[in-house]
Amino acid sequence: MSSGSGSDNSNSSSSDSSTDSSSSDSSFLSKFSTRKFEFSKSGSTSLAKWIVTGIKDEKVKACREAFKPTLKRKSEFLVNPTLDESIYLRLKVSKNSNASKTNIDPTEKTLKKLSYKILDLIKPLLYLASRANLKKRKKSDFIATQSAIRLWATLFRDIIKSRKQNILAQVYPEFINLLDRSDIWSGGEDLFGRKFLRHLVNEAKAQSTLEGISKVNKKASPRSTRSLHPPRIATRALLETLLPISSGREIPTLTPLNVTGILNWAAHSVNYAPAHCRNLQAFYAKHSKSAKVDLSARLPLSQKARGDLD
């Protein structure tokens, strides 16, 4: 295994060219047809045994330490991220717990351990990729390596996203949709990162502002639209008082001041009133002509109220 590490260092230039040609790799992969192949009986038997019974810890450790790649760019992406301090503190409050970052959430603890194992997988794959441009390598081997790396990247991304979703659903569930954005992640040692936290704060401020505006509007508007809507009250009150009068009956409790106040109330409710005032105008005109008595005499209106109805 040590000779493999030395070979990796001696072929750093080929690794650079492999990294810089990622766009051409993608086009090359798209043109590559599906290859069917057979896996040996002995290899299949060993694979089945490893899956069913597992591999001893010391052998797994040897495989893990056999390859140690050095990324010349974006090396922070080969790190298993931990909880951001601010998110951790929020989680402690949410759970009412003083547990450490490692033990604050059982799901996060399990997924983080799995993240380490997935990170181990990329090391031998990167080693193979660094050798892919050697003359002895076949194009099919190069394609296989590149495919494996892409599948690994998808797997690692998915498990990191699952970790984020698990935590965010507990502390800020209303912002869970931010996980679908691909432009606010920076990678590195923190699970969420400063870039995401800045967007989270901005979203929270915007939501708080909108909620404040909504509360102000609720205070300024009537509590019940149906029961306290000024023009509707005015219309209903006027109908209840004028219909009996139009038939010639007396309304002992009605005073001119009541009607004037109702009409002025509707007229001043400019946010709602235009259509209602037109309805009042039509009602007044109709019943003034059909009433057995003169409504203007029985119900004297103020000059302003009269102007609103004329």
Q: Can you give the pLDDT at residue 307?
A: 61
Determine the Cα–Cα distance for residues 309 and 23; give it in Å rounded to an integer. 75
Return the bridge partners of 193, or none: none
Q: Can you give the pLDDT at residue 89?
A: 92
The reply to whether 218 falls in a domain is no
207 and 248 together in one domain? no
The distance from CA 72 to its chain's CA centroid, rounded to whole angstroms, is 34
The domain of 234 spans 225-309
95 and 243 together in one domain? no
What's the DSSP call for residue 190?
B
Which of 177, 211, 245 lies at the terminal end of a domain, its last residue?
Answer: 211
SS3 category, 82:
strand
Under-50 pLDDT residues of the chain:
1-21, 224-231, 233-235, 237-238, 241-242, 245-252, 254-255, 270-272, 291
Which of 211, 238, 256 lies at the terminal end of a domain, its last residue?
Answer: 211
181 CB-near residues (< 8 Å, 6+ apart): 199
Q: Can you give the pLDDT at residue 47?
A: 86
182 and 239 together in one domain? no
CB atoms within 10 A of CB 75: 11
Q: Can you give the pLDDT at residue 110?
A: 95
93 and 205 together in one domain? yes
Q: Are 245 and 300 in contact (CB under 8 A)?
A: no
The reply to whether 216 falls in a domain is no
Q: Are 29 and 146 in contact (CB under 8 A)?
A: yes
114 CB-near residues (< 8 Å, 6+ apart): 159
213 CB-near residues (< 8 Å, 6+ apart): none
What's the DSSP call for residue 185?
-
118 CB-near residues (< 8 Å, 6+ apart): 152, 155, 156, 159
What's the DSSP call for residue 178?
G
72 and 196 together in one domain? yes
Q: Can you give the pLDDT at residue 166?
A: 95
